[in-house]
Amino acid sequence: MEIRSVAVGEVVFGTGPPVIIAGPCSVEGRDMLREVAAAVRSSGGQMLRGGAFKPRTSPYSFQGLGEEGLRALREVGNEFSLPVVSEVMSVEQIDLLLEYVDMLQIGARNMHNFPLLSAVGRTDRPVLLKRGFMATIEEWLLAAEYVVKEGNESVVLCERGIRTFETWTRNTLDISAVPLARILGGYPVVVDPCHASGRRDLLEPLTMASLAAGADGIMLEVHPDPDKALSDGGQSLGIVEFTELVEKIRGTG
């Protein structure tokens, strides 16, 4: 099946070179976001990510800055000319997210939230649909159909690892899913090696494997000081490591 191209502003998924989406797991404030965005822009990354509403496993963990985080994401995205993507966790949040983001992210935990999928399908905003960690490829493609069925064809899939018996990685990156979802669904497929592995030391090999498998983009978590990150520091790259990885991806390093 031919891969459909999905445009987010001037960024195109599916037909051009792989798109690099990068940014902190959670927006923690303007200054840290500006530091990361400057690196994304100068290294040749194309989109800025950052969670404002965080689906944390524990209700006692940092839950995100909410609207303040979205406002920071929009302003910093504008400052560095980077389109922005952030997760929408519920139908009630959609209108708020639409005020601030260029692309709506549906998180792994919400891939089966059919009312949410249908509701983002009724918006005009491109959707980044993460694979549920217990979802088969077929279930993932059918989740995408929930969005498309409502009229929104701008869907990009994101493979972010699935839960297996392995415990040394946070999840298991399903490399086969990258070509298969492209072939069977015709959607561009982005890989998130951070949530797939949970380990900073695996991000480079998993990124390279994903690109070799035909990924249309890579989503990376980046933090100015990963060890102090309020979420997912262990799987986030520092600014220097991120810049080096982008150089490798682009073949310029």
The interface region with ligand PEP, picked from 70-78, 103-111, 135-143, 172-180 by CB under 6 A, is: 103-111
User: Site mask, ligand PEP, residues 11-50, x = CB under 6 A?
Assistant: --------------x-------------------------
Strands (E), the chain: 6-8, 11-13, 19-23, 47-49, 84-87, 103-106, 127-130, 155-159, 189-191, 217-221
Rounded Cα–Cα distance for residues 225 and 231 (Å): 12
Residue with Cβ nearer ligand PEP (51 or 238): 51
**Among 170, 195, 200, 223, which residue sits at the site for ligand PEP (rule: CB under 6 A)?**
195
Q: Is 87 in the site for Mn ion (CB under 5 A)?
A: no
Among residues 159, 174, 192, 232, the one that binds Mn ion under rule CB under 5 A: 232
For the chain, the maximum distance between any two Cα atoms, rounded to a whole number of angstroms, is: 45
| Residue 160's binding partner out of ligand PEP, Mn ion, none, with CB under 5 to 8 Å set by partner kind | ligand PEP
Our CB check for ligand PEP shows the closer of 2 and 27 to be 27
Question: What Cα–Cα distance (Å) separates residue 65 from each residue in 29, 93, 101, 185, 244?
Answer: 8, 14, 15, 35, 29
The answer to whether 89 and 55 have CB atoms below 8 angstroms apart is: yes
From residue 143 to residue 172, the character string flagging contacts with ligand PEP as x (rule: CB under 6 A) and all else as - is -----------------x------------
Contact 152, 103 (CB under 8 A): no
Identify which of residues 36 and 253 has a Cβ nearer to ligand PEP in the complex.
36
Alpha-carbon span 71 to 100, nearest angstrom: 7
Q: Provide the residue type at 69 as one letter.
A: G
Q: Which is nearer to ligand PEP, 2 or 67 (CB)?
A: 67
182 near ligand PEP, judged by CB under 6 A: no
**Which of 82, 253 has the CB closer to ligand PEP?**
82
Q: In whole angstroms, how close is the CB of 20 to ligand PEP at the nearest point? A: 15
Q: What whole-number distance in Å separates Cα of residue 104 and Cα of residue 74?
A: 13
